[in-house]
Amino acid sequence: MPQRFDYIVVGSGIAGLYAALLARRHGSVCVLTKGSIDECNTKYAQGGIAAAVGRDDGPELHLQDTIAAGAGLVDVDAARILVEAAADRIHDLVDFGVPFDSSDGEVALGREAAHSRSRILHAGGDSTGAHIELSLSALARMSRITIKEYVQVEQIVVEGGRAAGLMALDTRTSATERFDAGAIVLATGGCGQLFRVSTNPDVTTGDGIALAYRAGAEVQDMEFIQFHPTALKIPGVPIFLISEAVRGEGGVLRNAAGERFMPRYSEQAELAPRDVVARSIVSEMAATGTDRVFLDVTHLAASRITARFPQIYRYCLDHGVDMTTQPIPVSPAAHYLMGGVRTNTWGETTLAGLYACGEVACTGVHGANRLASNSLLETVVFAKRVVERTLAGDGGPAPPTDGARDLAPLAHEGAGTPDRPSLQALMWDTVGIVRDGPGLRRATHQLAAWRAGLPAPHDRPSHELANMLLAGRLMAEAALVREESRGAHYRTDFPEPREEWRRHVVFRRESPHAA
């Protein structure tokens, strides 16, 4: 017999735990997570959480910055909800025990790229995500929430046109069990592991996107993957994010010759939107024949650097770079997915009974390029709205999109044996920071061939690989369809934005071949 709950939340990052903590007041809650409760993208978020709470700031200014960064594709209604709810959600996090940094009795606010005001709240300097995750996971463990760790969700069960339950594999016992719920909330994060160079942990394999697509829910804006401009680049050292806030504090980017180059690419210099900075770095590396540039904060006081960025300072120092006296070698890395499972402003997907929040969801607030530190804010704002919607009665699924497309069947010749490194290399080379039609076509055919030859998944690694192949195919296909450059999506064969493409690429499974 299936286990039955009022709510099932899939994922244990800030979106999932926040939703679970709110939902526990209104019914039974089960959190399913394929690793430990603490292993998620949230833990690695350094930059902070954006909220217009400063004396010279307001939601309207935050909204304008969000729209400007989104390159013409931001859902203004969703973005307005985001910025207007920010202060209340910060208050909730404080009540949940998140220790935001303060100065002279007031919350400390930092500046990041493309923000017109200082509005970034941090906890523990550059350890914001870890502090939020630990605060929420500790509360969840002490609450009346059923937490099932090391459980890989295999399938969303659809009955009568509604998401009725989940089939899930206990990866420690290899037993498959069914879980039923009145509301199923996907909070599984993004798919940064699609790429060879990524700031994301190993768990970010696009599981929720693949599950939702197979169940018939719509997936939107998969071509918009944000590459963070500055990840530590030292041979043999694991990828490590160097926060946007380092540039916000006054850090400058220099090429191999020691020349500051960002003013040549943008009037905003180092504080330009992330897509601009990432492509500028790629251009500069190509021009100088190197695989890195350097982020320089040596002109700042050493005490300021160590106090503001303790985690980054310690990590760099452990690997031979004293950022107070040496520039940090950096290069871009895959970081954040703007697209995902399409939802309305209440977190409802196009499949009744299925909700999504956090990075797995495409609410429309980020458009084609996310404004720095809006991601953590989005998780709490829309997680709360998901729970509110379930209490108000089932509003029904989000309406379907006219013109949604399905993945076309492609030739399956010369498939080879897929594995994670091969997939990551293909995606990095063809669906990365700079794209073109021939490379994207090669990727779509190779991914289709790999998917066709993949054996039925039977454990966590094989389920993750199957999900990555599907998410990668959706991303490559969306990038091939969009014949323009906009935000984080840049094609050398269509280098300018085109007004006719000021619309979304939406996928919906309609036939068995896309399973």
| 83 has a pLDDT exceeding 70 | yes
| 148 has a pLDDT exceeding 80 | yes
Give the side-chain half-sphere CA count within 13 A for 495: 4
DSSP 371-426: PTTHHHHHHHHHHHHHHHHHHT----PPPPPTT-B-PPP---TT-----HHHHHHH
DSSP 137-163: HHHHHHSSEEEE-SEEEEEEEEETTEE
First to last CA, the chain: 26
Per the CB < 8 A criterion, the answer to whether 345 and 359 are in contact is: no
| 460 has a pLDDT exceeding 70 | yes
Secondary structure of residue 355 in the 3-state scheme: strand
| 232 has a pLDDT exceeding 80 | yes
Residue 139 vs residues 24, 89, 276, 339: alpha-carbon distances, Å: 11, 17, 39, 30
Give the pLDDT band of residue 17 (cuts 50, 70, 90): very high
Phi, psi of 265 (to 5 degrees): -100, -25
| Cβ-Cβ contacts under 8 Å for 264 (sequence gap 6 or more) | none
Least confident of 114-118, 211-215, 221-225: 114-118
Active site residues: 274
Give the model confidence (pLDDT) of 418-453 as tens digits: 899 999 999 999 999 999 999 999 999 999 999 988
Give the pLDDT band of residue 111 (cuts 50, 70, 90): confident
Task: Give the number of residues written for the chain.
Answer: 515
Which domains can be identified in the chain, with CATH numbers? 1-224+338-404 (3.50.50.60), 228-334 (3.90.700.10), 405-514 (1.20.58.100)
For the chain, give the percent of residues with pLDDT over 70.
96
Q: How far apart are CA 459 and CA 174, in angstroms?
A: 7
